[in-house]
Amino acid sequence: MDQKEKSELQSKLPIAAGINGRGDYLLSAVLVLLIKIQEEYHILFQKRSKHIRQAGEICFPGGMYDTNLDYSTKDTALRETAEEIGLMPRAVDVIGALDYVIAPMGVIVEPFLAAAEYECLDHLKLSNEEVEKVFTLPLAFFKQNPPETYQTLIKVHPSYINAEGKEEILFPAEALGLGETYTKPWGRGQSTVYVYRSDEGLIWGLTAKIIYDLVQRLD
C-alpha cells in the first residue's frame, strides 16, 4: 500500500474510536455531584418519585440526551439536573467526564463529575413528578464499604412471545439457514451488578457501577 492510499484510508477513519452501532442505543447523561459538608466531600443522590418508571430507586440527577435541546451530553446532564432538582448550571462546576457505561438493556450513560457549594442545598426546587427527595452520603462511606457484587446472565433472544401468546420472530435464523442453535436464546455473557447498602436504601445498578468506578480512581 503506497502512502497516498494509506492517507486516503486514514482520512476515512474516526479521530478517536467510538462504539460500533452507537445509534442503536438510547443515550443519557448524569451528574455525579460532589458537595463539601463539614470538610468532607459528599455525593448528592435523588430518590425517584413514585409517579415514574423505576419508582423509589436511588440515582443521580440526569436523563436522556435530546438533539433539540442539547449541544452535548454535558448539556444533557446540566439541563436534566436543573429540571429535576432546580440546581442551575451556573451553580455547577463540571470537573470532567467519567467512563461511560453501556447497559445490557440498550442504554449508554455518560457520567460527569462536578462540584457545587454547600449553600446550593438550600435553594433546590424538586420536581414532584420526578423526584421524591434529595440526600447526600459521604464519599468516604463508599471507600470504607465495598459493594456487594452479583452477576446477571445475558442472552440473545431471536424471538419473543407477544401479548397474544404468539411468537414474534426478530431474527429469522432458520430461514437464513443458520441452524437450530440460533433459533433459541444463545450466549453466556454475564454482567456484574454492584449493590451498596446505605441508611437511605439500596444503591445499585448503573448508579452503583459509576460510584465504584469513581472510588477506584480516587484511591
Q: What pLDDT is attached to residue 86?
A: 95
Which set of grid coordinates corresponds to residue 27?
Answer: 443515550
CATH architecture of 23-218: Alpha-Beta Complex (3.90)
Amino acid, res. 155: K
The residues spanned by each domain of the chain are 23-218
**pLDDT at position 133:** 93
Per-residue pLDDT tens digits of the chain, which is 219 residues long:
888 899 999 999 988 888 888 888 899 999 999 999 999 999 999 998 887 777 789 999 999 999 999 999 999 999 999 999 999 999 999 999 999 999 888 899 999 999 999 999 998 999 988 899 999 999 999 999 999 999 999 999 999 999 999 999 999 999 999 988 899 999 888 999 999 999 999 999 999 999 999 999 987
What does the pLDDT read at residue 23? 83
pTM of this structure: 0.89
Handedness of CA 150, 51, 70, 36 (dihedral sign): negative
Cβ burial 96-111 (10 Å sphere, 16+ → b, else e)? eebeebeeeeeebbbb
Dihedral (Cα; 173, 175, 177, 180), 10-degree rounding: 50
The residues with which 134 forms a beta bridge, in sequence order, are: 46
pLDDT at 169: 94
pLDDT at 160: 93
Residues 202/195, Cβ–Cβ less than 8 Å: yes
CB distance 113 to 96 below 8 Å: yes
SS3 107: strand
- Number of H-type helices and E-type strands within the chain: 4, 13
